[in-house]
Structure 1
Amino acid sequence: MKVVILCGGQGTRIRDVADNIPKPMIPVGPAPILWHVMKSYAAHGFTEFVLCLGYKSHTIKEFFLNYQAFTSDFTLTLGREKAIDYHGDHDESGWKITLAETGLDSLTGTRVKRIAKYLGDDQDFLLTYADGVADIDINALVDFHRGHGKLVTVTGVRPPGRFGELGVEADGSVREFNEKPQATGGCISGGYFVCNRKMLDYIGDDNVMLEQDPMRKVVADGQLMVYRHDGFWQCMDTYRDYTLLNDLWNADRAPWRCW
């Protein structure tokens, strides 16, 4: 089963972190957040990826074209017949990555439609964004999808709180202060979809957001199910998100690290 990752957006809300690289390439610890997303899928046995590229796509291509050099020691012999001798290997050996140009200004639905030819004969495919990490059990998600028989499964997560939460007693005394709590009610889409390829029929030829008309039509036809995930999930939309993820990684407390 292929893992389709949306990597083409411009990330305008996080330009204060880096405006010279695409959002998927913003680092968390030693590597881009895109790498963290891919590592989490690979840890569950899914190592065939289709990256939907757009804004500054050359940066993502260069990263993977030079991956061996970025991750290994090597000896370089200069001269007319230049030779490179890599020392050792890396844990990502065997990953198969298709880097697909899906348009600079394409919206998410159009990007997914344009990579249909790379899905092969697979009936289902995994789909997510390149800017969110979680401790989701991907195999359990896939099993859930196959069990209900609908076209699309979306992972529902509790949105992280944006403000400090006070636990207050009746007399006004404070019993707890939570700096960034999880919201207690409702859930939002956390990405991490599983889709039957028939879902592509809901995406027309116009430039469309997957999360708008196509998904509304899927819902109207009773073809969308939610997989509840109450564990860790965090997107990287702002500088504060960037700082949080890096602090967790640097403190060796990254909940999404399952490799």
Structure 2
Amino acid sequence: MKVLILAGGYGTRLSEETSLKPKPMVEIGGKPILWHIMKIYSSQGFNDFIILLGYKGYVIKEYFANYFLHQSDVTIDLSTNQIEVHNNTSEPWRVTLLDTGLHTMTGGRIRQARPYINDEAFMLTYGDGVSNVDLKALKGFHESHQGDITMTSVQPDGRFGIIVTGDNDRVMSFKEKPKEDEGWINGGFFMCNPEVIDYIEGDDTVFEQAPLENLAKEGKLFTYRHSGFWKCMDTLRDKKQLNTMWESGHSPWKIW
């Protein structure tokens, strides 16, 4: 089963990093967040990826073009231009890098992948979110209903704490806002039947708008609720939090 990863946006809210590289290449623990996402899928048996490129897509192309070399011990004979590999630690990934255009919207990027999915069901996610979601359970749930698409929904941690007050509005303490107080949101990690692409009109279609709205109206959109870890790297603050988790050894998305 193929896994589509949306990796073409500008990442403007993370401009400190994305002026030089696309958002999926911003590093967590010395590895691009794109690598972390692919490891999440790979650890659960999904190794065939289609990465939908746009802004600075050449950076992602160069990363994977040199990936095997960077992951292996090699001897390079400059006189014959031959490379002898001694130790290969590369993952068993098949990666299709598809340039979908600089200004193409999310739906348009997915639509351009149609020739590569062979009219089969496929996984889909964003190139900036990590989670310990059970992808096999997601697949099982999708196959159990009659819809065309399953969207993983999550409850993000509250960004702001709660003030606990006593008599006369005296502040007594602070506490974190519980996740239960937050609504469920789109967490990515979709599973789609190929018919979903029929709902995308062209390159300027935003997938999260008309396609998902129409699928919902027709009763073809279901949600798989994930109550475990999920975090989107939307800002520099998010990046720092994810790096702190990784460096502390407490990174819940590391399921490999």
Query: Over aligned residue pairs, what C-alpha RMSD do you find?
Result: 1.6
Count how many residue pairs are aligned between Structure 1 and Structure 2: 254
Q: Deviations over 1:164-209 (max 9, x none)?
A: 234x26545646523x753623111000001111011111135110
Q: Match for 2:229: what amino acid?
A: F
- The whole-number CA distance in structure 1 between the counterparts of 2:202 and 2:33 is 31
Q: Is the 2:12–2:18 Cα contact (8 Å) retained in structure 1?
A: no
TM-score by structure 1 length?
Answer: 0.93
Contact 2:54-2:99 at 8 Å conserved across structures? yes
Q: Is the 8 A contact 2:10 2:18 kept in 1?
A: no
2:33 touches 2:128 (CA, 8 Å); kept in 1? yes
More deviation, 139-148/16-25: 16-25
Distance in structure 1 (CA, Å) of the matches to 2:13 and 2:180: 22
**8 A Cα contact 2:151 2:190, kept in partner:** yes
Alignment of 1:178-193 (within 5 A): 178=176, 182=179, 184-193=181-190
Question: Could you tell me which residue of structure 2 aligns to residue 216 of structure 1?
Answer: 213
2:254 alignment counterpart: 257
| CA shift for structure 1 position 88 | 0.9
SS of the residue corresponding to residue 106 of structure 1 reads: coil
Structure 1, unaligned runs of 5 or more = none
Distance, in Å, in 1 between the alignment partners of 2:192 and 2:218 is 15
Matched to 1:3, the amino acid is V
- Residue of structure 1 equivalent to 2:98: 100
1:139 aligns to what SS in structure 2? helix
Pairing of 1:1-259 with structure 2 (within 5 A): 1-79=1-79, 81-92=80-91, 94-122=92-120, 124-166=121-163, 168=164, 170-171=166-167, 172=170, 174=172, 177-178=175-176, 182=179, 184-205=181-202, 207-259=204-256
Q: How far, CA to CA, are the matches of 1:40 and 1:134 in structure 2? A: 8
Gaps of 5+ in 2: none
Sequence identity (%): 44
TM-score (normalised: structure 2): 0.94
Partners of 1:12 and 1:183 lie apart in 2 by 30
Supply the distance in 2 between the matched residues of 1:95 and 1:233 (Cα, whole angstroms). 24
* Secondary structure class of the residue paired with 2:19: coil
CA distance in 1, matches of 2:230, 2:172: 28
Give me the whole-angstrom Cα distance separating, in 1, the residues matched to 2:16 and 2:203. Answer: 32
Q: Is the 8 A contact 1:161 1:183 kept in 2?
A: no
C-alpha spacing 1:10/1:138, structure 2 compared with 1 (3 Å): same
